Amino acid sequence: MRVLVVGSGAREHAIVRSLQADPDVTDIACVPGNAGIAADVRVWPVDVASGAAVVAAARDFEADLVVIGPEVPLVLGVADVLREAGFAVFGPSAAAARIEGSKAFAKDVMSVAGVRTAHSEIVDNPALLDEALDRFGPTWVVKDDGLAAGKGVVVTTDRAAARDHAAELLEIGRPVLLESFLDGPEVSLFCLVDGLNVVPLLPAQDHKRVGDGDAGPNTGGMGAYTPLPWLDAQTADSIVTGVVEPVAREMVARGVPFSGLLYAGLAIGVEGPAVVEFNCRFGDPETQAVLALLTTPLGGVLRAVADGTLDRLPALQWRDGSAITVVLAANNYPGTPRTGDPITGATGPEYMHAGTALRDGRLVSAGGRVLSVVGVADDLAGARADAYAAMDRVHLPGGHFRTDIGLAAAEGRISVPSRAGS
């Protein structure tokens, strides 16, 4: 099987690496890829937002399967164009990708499906903003209603900061979603979905804030770990049966069945799981950790979803232990990152490249999240030690990373809240 991977991040590098371990995958290419991916497989520049350009790449490579990593081409309908051209695709249609592309659409799906989520309101008129803000708080959650690469969200107890963010979005013509704040630890659960069939992967936890102790602004993700020692199997199962399966059924009922990876981001509060958001693809940086523990060959898994045969896929197999991803970011990220700085020491299978490029034969930074370091060990403490030892071997001027990814879980400081007296 020849597999074309679409994307240029550490998520796609992790997918490529996992596909390389599948004996049934005979060749892999990635468009547009990055400098690290180019060291593993063939890459070439392609506008991944263009269905015609991706179809041309798939034809050039003679792909048997196309795996789309990022959300933008999915929301823009690249998977539809590929399917119309006769290619097997891992990734949802544009209509189904609205589960991520429009938070208002996702809220409506969840409402009809009976899935718990935050109370929300859409504001598209600046004159109505202050009145709407008064109905929320004391912690305000302000989101861009469209795609924002994980950085369009402000969670704050400062009403003025919430108002400023909302006003900035409205000024550039972006509708604003106001939500009630969901308390409790967050969980990322990836599920393979093929219409009504749902197969969960290992639950993970992402670290969105840029600084240690969850300080600073939101990012696209600064690190993740899996599995979650504080999440019991019963609660994990309830996310599948009470959240993902009802949403999958509702998508089918609407005539927009989901095919691909449905990512539920949830908060686990005293009332149980509640959805923070849905994504229509593998998450980054959780993918790097989750795939590090998957022993079932990935190519066959993704092809089963693309072919609509997920119900015939044998149970997924996982290695024991823990995996962790730590992200190295460029100077000034999540603001406008400084690029072009030299990177040294990032050689080995534990490094998944994202914002990297080769210039005059030197590896340099070319984006905000530069690379991910993956550690795997028998337990979370060991995986942390493995990842941070690898991070210490990398040098990037002005680069920064969090030192506390997975720390609270490793020290037993995370628990699911319970009702008083229970």
For the segment 314-342, what is each residue's pLDDT rounded down to a tens digit?
999 999 999 999 999 999 999 999 999 99
pLDDT at 119: 86
**Tokens encoding 342:** 């030299």
| pLDDT beyond 80 at 57 | yes
Instruction: Return d(Cα 74, Cα 48) in angstroms, integer.
Output: 10
pTM of the entire structure?
Answer: 0.92
pLDDT at 147: 67
Q: Provide the 3-class DSSP secondary structure of residue 146.
A: coil
CA distances from 112 to 107, 193, 278 (A): 9, 19, 15
| pLDDT beyond 80 at 402 | yes
Average pLDDT, integer, range 39-50 = 98
How deeply is 86 buried, as exposed, middle or buried, from its count of CB atoms within 10 A (0-12, 13-18, 19+)?
A: exposed
pLDDT at 144: 85
What class has domain 2-92? alpha beta
pLDDT at 80: 98
Local confidence band at 118 (pLDDT 50, 70, 90 cut-offs): confident
Average pLDDT, integer, range 351-380 = 98
pLDDT tens, position by position, 268-308: 998 899 999 999 999 999 999 999 999 999 999 999 999 99
| pLDDT beyond 90 at 311 | yes
Identify any residues that bridge with 371 across adjacent strands, giving them in sequence order: 328, 353
| pLDDT beyond 50 at 108 | yes
Percent with pLDDT over 90 in the chain: 90
Local confidence band at 82 (pLDDT 50, 70, 90 cut-offs): very high
- The larger pLDDT score, comparing residue 176 to residue 151, is at 176
| pLDDT beyond 70 at 149 | no
**Tokens encoding 110:** 């969840």
How deeply is 188 buried, as exposed, middle or buried, from its count of CB atoms within 10 A (0-12, 13-18, 19+)?
A: buried
Local confidence band at 421 (pLDDT 50, 70, 90 cut-offs): very low
Local confidence band at 379 (pLDDT 50, 70, 90 cut-offs): very high
Local confidence band at 44 (pLDDT 50, 70, 90 cut-offs): very high
Instruction: Return d(Cα 254, Cα 174) in angstroms, integer.
Output: 26
Q: Where are the domains of the chain?
A: 2-92, 121-179
Nearest to 51 by CA among 72, 74, 30, 81: 81
Instruction: Return d(Cα 75, Cα 59) in angstroms, integer.
Output: 22
CATH 1.20.1600.10 fits 121-179, yes or no: no
Across the chain, what does the average pLDDT equal? Answer: 95
The beta strands (E) that lie in 41-119 are given as 42-43, 65-68, 89-90
The residue assigned the tokens 């409402």 is 111
Percent with pLDDT over 70 in the chain: 97
Lowest mean pLDDT among 4-8, 145-149, 407-411: 145-149
